[in-house]
Amino acid sequence: MNTEERSWESDFLPLVRPPQKNGSNDTYCFAFKDRELLLVKGNNSLRLPSLEEIGNMDIDILRTQYLGELKDISCFSVELDNSNAVASIVENASFVSVRELPGILEETLAYLAGKAVHIMEWDRNTLFCGRCGSATSLKENERAKECPECGFLAFPKISPAIIVLIEKDDRVLLARSPHFRPGLYSILAGFVEPGESIEEAVVREVREEVGISIKNVRYFGSQPWPYPDSLMIGFTAEFLEGDIKVDGVEIEEAGWFTKDEIPVVPGKTSISGWLIEYFINKHS
């Protein structure tokens, strides 16, 4: 499925300060121990706790960030104490990896969990000014940390990365990274370097990782990817010339596959899955 066919309407309104409310004070709390989200058990399912529920638990809250409003429900990210005792203190709850949330939480909440962990880690990583070392404070009207001594501003870091599906006639290039679980293949990806366009990054990453040249690079879509702070920008491209020569560092194995030969690949909750699904549908 091309991302042009996906719906981008959202009921979430990002804000930096909670609005004054006359009605409901309902909240969603995205509370993290490391990068694992606390979900409350109930009715054979897992759900997000409210900020009040988190406050009533016998657990230390290190920092809290307001995220915005989802259908008039205020959303917060919370960094919990990281000690090993946390899991045993919290009853009727589970800690779930952000990667496992699709299928557990509805799509909008799973997306917001990615935003929440991104903001939580930015908050933790900018407690002090990177220029002079002074303690920072939140700015009043924008998502930023400000140094009271030198005036340096620290905004949430977003790291652009490309991901590309390469076709050669009726085959697609799939590859394995050494850190993938056994049997898993995906398409090529990498970070954009300073001073280059995203299209130049596509060409460079393909040449570096598998040694081939490509043509007809076309934009496909994008996806926030909070691992830890990326924005994945997807492309399609066509094989031009060269033989596959993996770099042995980022890629340990790569090859061409028809739609009927595709091995285990990422699911449809990721842009890599969307791109592979696009290839399969195109050749069906």
Residue range 9-23, pLDDT digits in tens = 578 999 999 988 876
Say yes or no: 210 and 147 in one domain: no
- The domain in which residue 152 lies consists of 126-156
Band of pLDDT at residue 84, cut at 50, 70 and 90: low
Q: 35: which residues sit within 8 A by CB, 6+ positions away?
A: 97, 98, 117
Whether residue 8 lies inside any domain: the answer is no
What value does the mean pLDDT of the chain take?
A: 92
Say yes or no: 272 and 198 in one domain: yes
Judge whether residue 197 has pLDDT over 80. Answer: yes
CB 76 within 8 A of CB 27: yes
Judge whether residue 90 has pLDDT over 70. Answer: no
Query: What's the pTM?
Result: 0.89
pLDDT number for residue 34 = 87
Whether residue 231 lies inside any domain: the answer is yes
Say yes or no: 48 and 66 in one domain: yes
Say yes or no: 207 and 246 in one domain: yes
Say yes or no: 163 and 276 in one domain: yes
Express each pLDDT in 109-118 by its tens digit. Answer: 999 999 999 9
In the block, tokens 């407690």 appear at 127
Say yes or no: 176 and 207 in one domain: yes
Judge whether residue 108 has pLDDT over 60. Answer: yes
Whether residue 213 lies inside any domain: the answer is yes
Whether residue 18 lies inside any domain: the answer is no
What whole-number distance in Å separates Cα of residue 215 and Cα of residue 132?
46
